[in-house]
Amino acid sequence: MKHRYIPMTAQDQADMMKVIGISSIEELFQDIPASVRYPGVLPMSEALDEAALLKHMKELADKNADFERYTSFLGAGLYDHHVPVVINHVVSRSEFYTAYTPYQPEISQGELQAIFEFQSYICELTGMAVANASMYDGATALAEAGALASGATKRKELIISRAVHPEARQIVRTTARGLNLDVVEVDYKDGVTDLEELQALVSEDTAAVIVQSPNFFGCIEDLRAIEPIIHSKKGLLVVSTNPITLGLLETPGKLGADVVVGDAQPFGISASLGGPTCGFFAVAEPLMRRMPGRIVGQTKDIDGKRGFVLTLQAREQHIRREKATSNICSNQALLALCASVYLSTMGKTGVQQVANLNVQKAHYAAGVFAQQSELALAFDAPFFNEFVVKLPDGANIDDVQAKLLDNGYIGGYDLGIAYPELQGHMLVAVTERRTKSEIDQFVNRLEACL
Amino acid sequence: MKPDKKLIFELSKPGRVAYSLPELDVPEVNLGELIPESMLRSQPAELPEVYEVDVIRHYTELSRRNFGIDNGFYPLGSCTMKYNPKINEDVARFTGFAKIHPYQPEQSIQGALELLYTLQNDLATLTGMDQVTLQPAAGAHGEWTGLMMIRAYHESRGETRTKVIVPDSSHGTNPASATVAGLETITIQSDDKGLVDLDALRAVVGPDTAALMLTNPSTLGLFEEHIVEIAEIVHEAGGLIYYDGANSNAIMGITRPGDMGFDVVHLNLHKTMSTPHGGGGPGSGPVGVKSKLIPFLPKPIVAKKEDGTYGLNYDRPESIGRVKAYYGNFGILVRAYAYIRTYGPEGLRQVSECAVLNANYMMHRLAPYYEIPYPGVCKHEFVMSGRGLKQYGVRTLDVAKRLLDFGFHPPTIYFPLNVEECMMIEPTETESKETLDSFIDTMIQIAQEAEQNPELLLNAPHNTDVRRLDETQAARKPVLNCACN
């Protein structure tokens, strides 16, 4: 009966039942029909004491190949960046992590200010006017961006590049089906969106062109060339981006994007089998009141002190119900805090330096791959920290991955899974965590595994 | 008066750093030779320049200006603000869970897949459903996933059903999720006992009914006594019924949505399963379905293979598709699994019994002082109306603000919408009788203050970091970032 999280003693129970005027707990459940009552004990996993639970969880964890024991060259949307140690100390403060959404601003200024600073960081990095408090992840943020574009333009067609993350495209499609929107895919050419085909597809019916830059292949899209194609037809340009690239790459805002989304995972968030990460969502000023999700604004209290509140709530589900701009309620606030602490830690010079380390090491690695007789780079387009390597014809990537794993490496992503025409192509990510010797040895080992 | 808390941007001083990065160990190439100048940033991002102590003191100060469950009682109705166990935090940070990638070969993530598989099955057993997906990232995300499956199910049978029925006490996410799933909402009035009005339900069901969405116990804290009949009415009309699991903390091990006749269920792991709400997220909203809906579940599903290993099944031709990148909020799922293993099935039943007893105790003690619109037995939460205080010029909002002065988080206020000046109180099972009594005594004192000294409430809070904030101004002239440049 006793449990460390439940304080009720037998005496408490007796006292409380007396106040209520009942003689058994059962009387509190009389309103549940007997026919739907569960008669016995549910056949679920059994309880474990604290030590046994720790041991069990450790055993499960140890069955996984993690990035500390293995050297990872896997990216494809989630990256093995260094996580500054201060981040875990900050997000472990339970005033942050055990709080609910800041509905009572007078006792939630800490969270509200942290979100306000997160919004400020996202605006500064993306070059956009307004950002929200976060979305579930980059992929669902992209789907919401498509929905926003349709609402803003009163058009039903989304054109999305095949060089956008395959899972994000799938979610855009699921979301579009719900909203009865059409999704048209535009192919890629030489690793980037095919601009001729895009030009031919875009029309007065197009709500948005959706691209990712750097795209799924790691290649940087020519946003300057894409922007006029859609804006000349009065549709919106939606750009998904990896925010760590914005330490060096031109902001999508400056290049004409109307909506910029992405995943802040590179900013100090564990890969954690893909979640929880942190989607971000930023828009140009005219789209502000169409944004999904929570938004924090600055204001004053009755004494004139600066303070922060949830604002523009007339967009949201708890006010607007079926007329809301989105159904999102919970977001990823604690991960937005991770990203904010990361950016506070890196600061103006750190975000440039870490981006440069990624660019330099990835290009060094690409150069080493290109020198191997059996390996080649698939695309020539400019890239950031990820590129595509073509293995020799007939190479079995599953076998290669298994052999790499045996040698202590987590290999790159098998592009053949999502792109039938790219069988035998591996997407390789190189972050600042990879050393020259790890890169050299990985390339050698990969050749040896063929 | 203390000065305003500075923004991190306002602490910046050029030349300071808080990071430590490795030296470049490959030959450096001029950036312009690697990436065309036209693609590079013309102006650096103006982020603050601070050192590590600034970072720690800044966020420590922010944390001190924030209220979580670890600070005190948090009876926020329908949010189930129970204690967030520390062991769950520790295990989720194990390297073997935190530093793994979803695209690693399946053989290298067997422990993670085993955990997911077991959790899927445990949640299916707990809810009485046949299969569970762990992908949805939050409750509303689960609602949308469930409705998309309901829509796909009807379409697979060649039926066009576009209407989703919700009671007037439902969460705002229910109608919002229906819209995003391309369905229309019909709202029905509750009867005078606060329950679904069966006649009203009968009047709106028909060949266009896709689903009824129901929270049971409802947001009024009441169990739908006629749930079996409700399910029959909807099913006979060819519709399905959807269980909003926000209030599952009342029923674990006692009754199951699957046995009540529900076809689709979502759970909020950040409520019922104790995972921390993080100041707004991350959550997790697994969805369970009856067998007829299994083909439509999002892909992939974690499966156990014949050889005893675990894998991801993508071969699901009728699936609604993917709803979230990768496999869900795994770090939250690890915590929820640890929670289930902490209690086991009998412990979870005890959780619900204590949560319900606590709520009924509070309701009975507060009844002489506040109007209880639906007296009788409540489940894990109950509602009160503050309209009796309006004669003193005081509203529920003022009661909530006054509670802040006493170190309590207020209840949910002005929801559900069908109760005037509503306060919705959910104590959870992790609060002691002493804490409940202290809160109750404070509420009684506030009711007396409202009568004798209403100014005290109208000007509350008095001792918080900031006082009442101008929300109108915030919305009329939005300042949404620091625009520090």
Q: Residue B62's closest chain A neighbor by CA? A: A110
The SS3 call for residue B215 is: strand
Mean pLDDT along residues A376-385: 98
Give phi and psi for A264, each to the nearest 5.
-85, 15
pLDDT band at B118, cuts 50/70/90? very high
The CA distance from A421 to the nearest CA of chain B, in Å, is 19
Tokens 């010079």: give the residue: A349
Mean pLDDT of chain A: 97
Q: Does A261 touch chain B (CB under 8 A)?
A: no
Q: Does A300 touch chain B (CB under 8 A)?
A: yes
CB atoms within 10 A of CB A124: 26
Q: Which two tokens stand for residue A22?
A: 């009942």
What whole-number percentage of chain A has pLDDT above 70? Answer: 100
Exposed (0-12), middle (13-18) or buried (19+): which is B402, by Cβ within 10 Å? Answer: buried
Top pLDDT among B1 and A298 is at A298
Cα–Cα dist A322/B140, whole Å: 13
The SS3 call for residue B450 is: helix
Contact list, B276 vs chain A (CB under 8 Å): 94, 97-98, 334
Do residues B40 and A248 touch, judged by C-beta distance below 8 A? yes
**Distance from CA of residue B242 to its chain's centroid?**
17
Exposed (0-12), middle (13-18) or buried (19+): which is B274, by Cβ within 10 Å? Answer: buried
Q: Does B200 touch chain A (CB under 8 A)?
A: no
Cα–Cα dist A362/B29, whole Å: 12
Do residues A172 and A160 touch, judged by C-beta distance below 8 A? yes
3-class SS letters over chain A: CCECCECCCHHHHHHHHHHHCCCCHHHHHCCCCHHHECCCCCCCCCCCCHHHHHHHHHHHHHCECCCCCCEECCCCCCCCCCCCCHHHHHHCCHHHHCCCCCCCHHHCHHHHHHHHHHHHHHHHHHCCCEECCCECCHHHHHHHHHHHHHHHHCCCEEEEECCCCHHHHHHHHHHHHHHCCEEEEECEECCEECHHHHHHHCCCCEEEEEEECCCCCCECCCHHHHHHHHHCCCCEEEEEECHHHHHCECCCCCCCCCEEEEECCCCCCCCHHHCCCCEEEEECHHHHHHCCCCCEEEEEECCCCEEEEECCHHHCHHHHHHHCCCCCCCCCHHHHHHHHHHHHHHHHHHHHHHHHHHHHHHHHHHHHHHHCCCCEECCCCCECCEEEEECCCCCCHHHHHHHHHHCCEECCEEHHHCCHHHCCEEEEECCCCCCHHHHHHHHHHHHHHC
Contact list, B62 vs chain A (CB under 8 Å): 96, 109-111, 113-114
Residues of B (208-227) whose Cβ lies below 8 Å from A:
222-223, 225, 227
Is there a contact between B105 and A62 if contact means CB atoms under 8 Å apart?
no
The SS3 call for residue B369 is: coil
Q: Is B421 left (phi over 0), alpha (psi -120 to 50) or beta?
A: left
Position B108 scores a pLDDT of 98
Cα–Cα dist B155/B210, whole Å: 10
Position B87 scores a pLDDT of 98
B334-347 pLDDT per residue, tens: 999 999 999 999 99
Q: Which two tokens stand for residue B250?
A: 């009342």
- ipTM field: 0.98
Q: Residue A401's closest chain B neighbor by CA? A: B105
* β-pair type (A206-212, A413-414): unpaired
The CA distance from A321 to the nearest CA of chain B, in Å, is 5
Mean pLDDT along residues A20-40: 97
Mean pLDDT along residues A311-330: 86
Residue type, A396: N
Cα–Cα dist A161/A1, whole Å: 58
HSE-CB at B71 with a 13 A cutoff on CA atoms is 23
B151-202 pLDDT per residue, tens: 999 999 999 999 999 999 899 999 999 999 999 999 999 999 999 999 999 9
Cα–Cα dist A239/B39, whole Å: 15
Exposed (0-12), middle (13-18) or buried (19+): which is B453, by Cβ within 10 Å? Answer: exposed
**Is 90 exceeded by the pLDDT of residue A19?**
yes
Q: Does A301 touch chain B (CB under 8 A)?
A: yes
Residues of B (20-79) whose Cβ lies below 8 Å from A:
20-22, 24-29, 31, 34-36, 38-42, 44-50, 52, 55-56, 58-71, 74, 76, 79
Measured CA to CA in angstroms, residue B479 lies from A102, A312, B482 at distances of 18, 11, 8
pLDDT band at B137, cuts 50/70/90? very high
Strand partners, B240: B211
The residues near B57 (Cβ < 8 Å, ≥ 6 apart) are none
Q: Which domains does chain B have, with CATH numbers?
A: 8-54 (no CATH), 87-342 (3.40.640.10), 352-471 (3.90.1150.10)
Which DSSP category does B190 fall into?
B
DSSP of B391-412: GGT--HHHHHHHHHHTT-PPPE
Do residues B404 and B66 touch, judged by C-beta distance below 8 A? no
Q: Which domains does chain A have, with CATH numbers?
A: 71-82+347-449 (3.90.1150.10), 86-341 (3.40.640.10)
A88-126 pLDDT per residue, tens: 999 999 999 999 999 999 999 999 999 999 999 999 999
Cα–Cα dist B139/B285, whole Å: 5
Closest of B246, B296, B251, B278 to residue B135, by C-alpha: B296
Q: Does B163 touch chain A (CB under 8 A)?
A: no
Position A317 scores a pLDDT of 82
Is there a contact between A345 and B19 if contact means CB atoms under 8 Å apart?
yes
The SS3 call for residue B287 is: strand
Selecting from A62, A106, A294 the residue whose C-beta is nearest the C-beta of B404 gives A106
Position A315 scores a pLDDT of 84
The residues near B338 (Cβ < 8 Å, ≥ 6 apart) are A53, A57, B85, B87, B88, B91, B92
pLDDT band at A1, cuts 50/70/90? low
What whole-number percentage of chain A has pLDDT above 90? Answer: 95
Position B484 scores a pLDDT of 63
CB atoms within 10 A of CB A119: 27
CB atoms within 10 A of CB A185: 18
Cα–Cα dist B215/B201, whole Å: 15
Give phi and psi for A384, each to the nearest 5.
-105, -80
Do residues B265 and B142 touch, judged by C-beta distance below 8 A? no
Position B394 scores a pLDDT of 98
Do residues B439 and B370 touch, judged by C-beta distance below 8 A? no
**Best to test chain A binding among B101, B169, B216, B337 (most A CBs inside 10 Å):** B101
Do residues A209 and A159 touch, judged by C-beta distance below 8 A? yes
Q: Does A23 touch chain B (CB under 8 A)?
A: no
**Is 90 exceeded by the pLDDT of residue A323?**
no
Q: Which two tokens stand for residue A68?
A: 């500390």
Position B483 scores a pLDDT of 81
Supply angle C-alpha A232, A233, A234, rounded to 5.
90
Cα–Cα dist B275/B79, whole Å: 12
**Best to test chain B binding among A296, A329, A410 (most B CBs inside 10 Å):** A329
Cα–Cα dist A429/A78, whole Å: 10
Position B1 scores a pLDDT of 66
DSSP of B111-172: HHHHHHHHHHHHHHHHHT-SEEE---SSHHHHHHHHHHHHHHHHHHTT----EEEEETTS-T
Position A316 scores a pLDDT of 83
**Is 60 exceeded by the pLDDT of residue B250?**
yes
Position A262 scores a pLDDT of 98
Q: Does B186 touch chain A (CB under 8 A)?
A: no
Tokens 């977001």: give the residue: A331
Q: Residue A144's closest chain B neighbor by CA? A: B180
Q: Does A370 touch chain B (CB under 8 A)?
A: no
Count chain A–chain B contacts defined by CB atoms under 8 A: 710
Mean pLDDT along residues A171-179: 96
pTM: 0.98
Do residues A377 and A396 touch, judged by C-beta distance below 8 A? no
Rg (CA), chain A: 25
Give phi and psi for A81, each to the nearest 5.
-95, 160
B360-414 pLDDT per residue, tens: 999 999 999 999 999 999 999 999 999 999 999 999 999 999 999 999 999 999 9
Task: List helix spans (H) across B287-366.
Answer: 330-366
The CA distance from A163 to the nearest CA of chain B, in Å, is 16
Give phi and psi for A188, each to the nearest 5.
-110, 160
Cα–Cα dist B408/B436, whole Å: 11
Cα–Cα dist B246/B228, whole Å: 20
User: How long is chain B?
Assistant: 485
Q: Does A84 touch chain B (CB under 8 A)?
A: yes
Selecting from A8, A106, A134 the residue whose C-beta is nearest the C-beta of B467 gives A106
